[in-house]
């Protein structure tokens, strides 16, 4: 299975900044053969715009390769473009319902329509500022799957829980509570993000990341009611181009969820190359 690197822009970047980021990022990876899957999760309002920018550059590339776009049907063009797409787009959250009276919320169905294939769910900032429980996250994961979005499920303990040495129990509870049970799940991405490491510049030791990746893998396999066929475990929290290589070398780590460092196209492109 291919590794994956995911940019979580959070509430950052304007339309102009998103455009120059994409231009610069594309330039930096254009000649690179060995890339992991790459996903960018911008603020929701930028999704459709970024999808269009990506499509335009793909059409240009197809034309440069001698395809006569004007003669093709729209569906066919989209298929060809999707084949050469190097950057996928994801949402940062979705609601558990696909429509209804939920002011300010975002539907998984609309994310999919706008060009997303992924959605981050249960990020600690959503759990903290929007009071999302495991139960809420669980319902969102189910809805995302039903709408053909790959959930990027975030879990992770606070510093207090780590220091009290209760982190394994806490993570087990998050896994059991946030992953829908007794339904077949083909693919799931689980991002381990210790809260004390997000945006702080502090990262766990490699031994600690290794311990958590093994623990999460075992727990997903051990719980008979969790029927996930393929899972990828990612690390997130203060990753950058300097620590990426070491983190990616951890046995059960298949990628990274990147916050701050993903805002710089150059830095993120270096991290992508190191994540292959």
Active site residues per annotation: 123, 193
Minimal distance in Å, beta carbon 128 to ligand PGA? 11
DSSP 157: -
Place of tokens 């709408």: 147
Place of tokens 């900044």: 17
Residue 72 near residue 39, CB atoms below 8 Å: no
Instruction: Give residues with Cβ within 8 angstroms of 85, minimum separation 6.
Output: 54, 58
Q: How far is CA 28 from CA 32, 197, 237, 274, in A?
A: 8, 28, 24, 13
Q: Which is nearer to ligand PGA, 145 or 203 (by Cβ)?
A: 203
Residue 121 near residue 94, CB atoms below 8 Å: yes
Minimal distance in Å, beta carbon 264 to ligand PGA? 12
Minimal distance in Å, beta carbon 185 to ligand PGA? 22
Q: Which is nearer to ligand PGA, 202 or 222 (by Cβ)?
A: 202
Minimal distance in Å, beta carbon 9 to ligand PGA? 10
Q: Which is nearer to ligand PGA, 58 or 193 (by Cβ)?
A: 193
Binding stretches for ligand PGA (CB under 6 A): 8, 193, 198-199, 236-239, 257-261
Buried b / exposed e across 230-263, counting CB within 10 Å, b at 16+?
A: ebbbbbbbbbbbebbeebbebebbbbbbbbbbbb
DSSP 76: H
Q: Which is nearer to ligand PGA, 40 or 53 (by Cβ)?
A: 40
CA distance 116 to 90: 5
CA distance 99 to 170: 32
Q: Which is nearer to ligand PGA, 12 or 223 (by Cβ)?
A: 12
Helix (H) or strand (E) holding 154: strand 150-155
- Give residue number: closest CB to ligand PGA: 259
Rg (CA), the chain: 19
Q: How far is CA 276 from CA 5, 15, 199, 269, in A?
A: 9, 29, 24, 11
Q: Which is nearer to ligand PGA, 136 or 238 (by Cβ)?
A: 238
């Amino acid at each position: 299975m291919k590794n994956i690197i995911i940019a979580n822009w959070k509430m950052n970047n304007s339309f102009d900044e998103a455009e120059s980021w994409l231009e610069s990022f594309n330039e930096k990876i254009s000649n690179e053969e060995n890339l992991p899957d790459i996903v960018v999760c911008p603020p929701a309002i930028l999704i459709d715009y970024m999808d269009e920018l990506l499509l335009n550059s793909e059409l240009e590339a197809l034309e440069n390769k001698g395809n006569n776009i004007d003669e093709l049907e729209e569906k066919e063009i989209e298929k060809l473009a999707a084949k050469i797409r190097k950057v996928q787009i994801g949402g940062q959250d979705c609601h558990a319902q696909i429509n209804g009276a939920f002011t300010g919320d975002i539907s998984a169905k609309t994310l999919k329509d706008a060009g997303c294939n992924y959605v981050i769910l249960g990020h600690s900032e959503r759990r903290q500022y929007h009071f999302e429980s495991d139960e809420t996250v669980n319902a969102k994961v189910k809805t995302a799957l039903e709408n053909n979005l790959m959930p990027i499920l975030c879990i992770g303990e606070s510093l207090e829980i780590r220091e009290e040495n209760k982190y394994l129990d806490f993570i087990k509870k998050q896994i059991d509570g946030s992953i829908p049970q007794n339904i077949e799940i083909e693919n799931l991405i689980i991002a381990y993000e210790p809260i004390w490491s997000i945006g702080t510049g502090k990262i766990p030791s490699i031994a600690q990341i290794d311990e958590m990746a093994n623990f999460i893998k075992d727990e997903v396999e051990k719980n008979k009611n969790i029927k996930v066929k393929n899972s990828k475990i990612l690390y997130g929290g203060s990753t950058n181009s300097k620590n990426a290589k070491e983190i990616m070398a951890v046995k059960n780590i298949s990628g990274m969820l990147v916050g701050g460092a993903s805002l710089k196209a150059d830095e993120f492109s270096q991290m992508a190359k190191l994540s292959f």
